[in-house]
Chain A
Amino acid sequence: MSSHAAPATAAPKPWDIVVAGLIKENPTLKMILGCCPTLAVTTAAGNGLGMGLATASVLMFSNMAISMLRNVIPEKVRIPSYIIIIAGFVTVVMYVLKAWLPELDKALGIYIPLIVANCILLARAEMFAAKYKPLPSFLDGLAMGLGFTLALFSISTVREILGNGTWFGIVLTKNLWTPAVLMILPPGGFFAFGLVITAMNKLTNGKIEAPHCATCSPEDGSCLDLVGAKK
């Protein structure tokens, strides 16, 4: 793999990293990574924002730690190593939330420990942290995390306003229309995500980037490549 052959590659400029994370390569809206939390916890704007920030904080630190260890971790066991590092930071975030934000922790439930299985983290570890120095990796984690937060926040805003008539619990549509409860139920998750991706597609005039985990198809093997199993 090329990731270890050239450890001294110059990292992209800070501004480019930020633009890529937020817009150009937005992990959720352009790469379609991490769909499970995107659909599951976006029933209220506050939950979407909380989930996004929790994931972002894990991503920043896991990226930095993996980058620091990039020359130590043997190539063959790199994926399990990355997963263990990520799981460590997820556990820290989980207990921080349990201690200081118990309501949010309750609302997000098992989706907090499930950050471990969010493909965004593994994808950034493999695509960025394994190649570049700790500081750019930290910034990449921050930018990608905020891009994820932005996506979750916009989807949960759409869902909460249409489905419950509120935004962060503030009633907005009192005498305007009856909220369509379907939007905060499971089918509404698929629908709102579809709407936001369509809008993003139309606005940026671009096709969605070749998605990695969403098309874990055995035929094209994109995800197989990520877990190092391609023959």
Chain B
Amino acid sequence: MIASIVQQVVVTILTAILVENLVLSKFLGMCPFLGVTQKTSTAAGMGVAVTFVIVVTAGLAWVLNTTLLVPNKMEYLQTMTYILIIAALVQFVETVVRKFVPPLYKALGIYLPLITTNCAVLGVPLLNTSKNYDLGMCLVYSFGAGAGFTLALILFSGVRERMDRADIPATLKGIPSALFAATLVSMSFFGFQGLFQ
């Protein structure tokens, strides 16, 4: 019994990180992927902040969806509810963290406002709803998705730090070269396809 639960948890997390990576195979959270990966330290900070917000919003969205929206046949308000949860929660987290954990605010504070319009944060609750997870699996999957996001950002920032010193033709400088590099990183993750069948 316990062994099968553990197995399910491990498989879900590894699938979310490697096989269905949020950034590299679902293309969610492209803006921070292209935007804050110039330095590994910023990439890691953004990754941790996003993971935290994803797990909390996904849990809250699940609770509101199953207790309020579905019993009252108001599923059409899902998108609006989820985006409101995200906007309110980001504000709330920012205020609480600033008041009670100043060092954490100093490290993550600048990333929080950016998260409101991050499609990864909205995408994970929507994916959870479409997969019909229960609360436990929903939290596990959300954590895995956030970890996958963090891993992709950190790996890609490593590639970009090296590209800084490369001699790149003017037409390809900036975004185009970053996209071609992302092609290669995405291709390497493609090797994990079919890991768990």
Contact = CB atoms under 8 A, between A and B. Distances in A.
Interface of A: 32, 35-37, 39-40, 79-80, 83-84, 87-88, 90-91, 94-95, 109-110, 113-114, 116-119, 122, 182, 185-191, 193-194, 197-198, 201-202, 207-208, 211, 213-218, 223-224, 227-229
B180 A191 contact: yes
Tell me if A's interface is mostly helix, strand, loop or mixed. helix
Highest count of chain B CB atoms <10 Å: which of A40, A79, A87, A186:
A186
Interface residues of B, number: 50
B16 interface: no
A117 B122 contact: yes
B63 interface: no
Nearest to A230: B113
A91 B126 CA distance: 13
Contact of B179 (A186, A194, A218): A194
Interface string B106-146: 00001101101111011100110010000000000000000
B2 interface: no
B28 interface: yes
B182 interface: yes
A162 to B, nearest CB: 13
18 contacts: A36-B29, A40-B26, A87-B83, A113-B78, A113-B122, A117-B117, A182-B187, A186-B24, A186-B186, A191-B183, A193-B179, A194-B176, A194-B183, A213-B31, A213-B117, A214-B35, A216-B36, A229-B113
